[in-house]
Amino acid sequence: MPLIKKNGAVFWTPKDSKKQLMVWFGWFIGLMLIFLSWRSISANTIWVFAADAPEQLRLMIMRMFPPKFEYLNKLWKPLWDTLNIATLGTLLGIVIAVPVAFLAASNTTPSRKLVRPFAMLILVSSRSVNSLIWALLLVTIVGPGIFAGIIAIALRSVGFVGKLLYEAIEEIDRTQVEAVTATGAAPSQVFSYGIVPQIMPAFAGISLYRWDINIRESTILGYVGAGGIGLNLSASLSILAWSQVSVILISVLGTVIASEWISARIRKMLI
Amino acid sequence: MPLIHASDGVNWKKKHLIANPYIRIGLAFTAVVYLALALSSVEVNWVRVQEGLGRGAAFVGSFLHPDFTSRWNEIFEGILESLTMTIVSTALGILLSIPVGIGAAGNIAPFPVYFLCRSIIAVSRTFPEVIIAIFFVAMFGFGALAGMLTLTFATIGFMAKLLAEDIEDIDPVQTEAIRSTGAGFFQMLTWSVQPQVMPRLIGLSVYRLDINFRESAVIGIVGAGGIGATLNTSIDRYEYDTTAAILIVIIVIVMCAEYVSGIIRKRLQ
């Protein structure tokens, strides 16, 4: 810790002056970037429209209340579809992600130079593209409906599950694998007795976590035609049926809270 | 480790993931019933899928010859707008998430403040960005401002929750040491809490920057600015070469961001 002498007294500072200068320079660049970005957003905004936002919010809330709860009866099927999109999509995603993760992990990949970069590319591409964009594409390819939603969720989940899983595989304890190999086990036995038990808790946790996220994401896929409750949301918004929108929001809230509760329970059981 | 006594000696069996057999079998049974019900309710129009496969192949093929040139202006402006939205919303979101996060930490905040801050976090985290974007677009009009505010709102929930958990996990001894010197609440925050949570806070901020950029590509679909609108239009027009070009730009930026954030996070640890 550097000490600074000033006017005969000694002061303590957390950083020395050179480091402090670097920190200030970093802040300067960062703040400039933020300021320039804000100016560009502000220049493209019609402030007259933005200024009456509180009034718009008040009107919106007024239109949303009271919620039209009879509409809930029409929502059970879309909610069931939403649940299925999330669950089946997660399962399909996991099925694809597991082999890719083993190809991507540096200690299990067959070739670090050829196979690993390719597996990494699959994972990054899948992760960079949001499930809604996948859904947008898939609706034009396989047609509207929950099938497109399931595949969209699966394609997005591959990158997420794959990345976290390959990191877990890379962190396994080598000695256990060596111990199993030393007993004369075949590669498949080394795999199932040396590697799988070590990554199983992480795998279960990752899958549950992704399922939780997928429930949330599948509620909006319908907005682009990929099935589920988002379909009702976009339909209600386009006919300005705000009292139905509030019912939909409440049911989304309920679904998300329920799924979090379920996944917390299962997590406790597994880990 | 369970051992089984068989006629030819003692066999060893792998441990089950779930120890309790009733829960294990019950869960497996529920899973099978659910799967059967869920799969039977998925209607697939195979004729339509078959028709679409050609289009799917065209889309995959377009990654081999992406078209950056014919819509370059739209792509460039969209990406620039996405980046500006990302930067402002991340900065603003982190700034606002710090008081909310401190308020949501059970060990240093009084209960009413704790409850209020936890509610803000819950609302922000429950709804997907797109739904929030729909409402902000209705309030502030189409464009990047609505998108920026959406991402800011989502950032608050994300950062504040993780920050609060981090503050709850800090070493109480250091807080006590600072308190015993006669420090007030804010002095305690600066000298005991801040140094302990700062490395993780910076790491999370970089991670959130990355998420915000990816999300900014989506909320344009509902009119909240950014590259999403351009992407949406190109898909609607079946201009897959342009779609591929946009996706490649997004993927490259995300890869760069991840690489840089990896370096930053490694340095902090």
The pLDDT of B10-15, averaged and rounded, is 70
Taking CA–CA distances from A238, the nearest residue in chain B reads B134
Residue pair B159/B101 in contact (Cβ under 8 Å)? The answer is yes
Average pLDDT over residues A26-44: 86
**pLDDT per residue over B192-237, tens digit each?**
888 888 888 888 888 888 888 888 888 888 888 888 888 888 888 8
User: Taking 90 as the threshold, does the pLDDT of residue A97 lie above it?
Assistant: yes
Tokens of B94: 């982190």
Q: Residue B59's Cα: distance from chain center in Å?
A: 27
Question: Is residue B84 less than 8 Å (CB to CB) from chain A?
Answer: yes
Q: Determine contact: A140 vs chain B, CB below 8 A.
A: yes
CA distance B30 to A89: 18
pLDDT exceeds 70 at position B73: yes
Of residues B262 and A256, more confidence is placed in: A256
Dihedral sign computed on CA atoms, order A126, A128, A130, A135: negative
| B130 closest CB neighbour out of A40, A200, A220 | A220
- Would you call B178 an interface residue with chain A, using a CB distance cutoff of 8 Å? no
A189 touches chain B (CB under 8 A): no
Q: Which tokens sit at B99?
A: 């008081």
Q: Specify the 3-state DSSP secondary structure of A112.
A: coil
- Per-residue pLDDT, averaged over B7-34, amounts to 77
**What's the average model confidence in pLDDT over A218-224?**
88
Amino acid making up residue B198: M
Burial annotation A73-90 (CB, 10 A radius, 16+ → b, else e): eebeebbbbbbbbbbbbb
More reliable by pLDDT, A43 or B162: B162
Rounded mean pLDDT, B19-38: 84
pLDDT band at A1 (very low <50, low <70, confident <90, very high): low
**The tokens of B170 are what?**
């800090």
CA dihedral A6, A11, A14, A20 (to 10 degrees): -10
Helices and strands counted in chain B (H then E): 11, 2
Helix (H, G, I), strand (E, B) or coil at B170: coil
Q: Which amino acid is at A117?
A: P
Instruction: State the pLDDT at residue A161.
Output: 92
| CA-based nearest residue in chain A for residue B134 | A237
- Enumerate the residues of chain B whose CB falls inside 8 A of the CB of residue A252: 126-127, 131
ipTM: 0.80
* pTM for this model (two decimals): 0.82
Looking at the DSSP bridge assignments, the partners of residue A237 are none
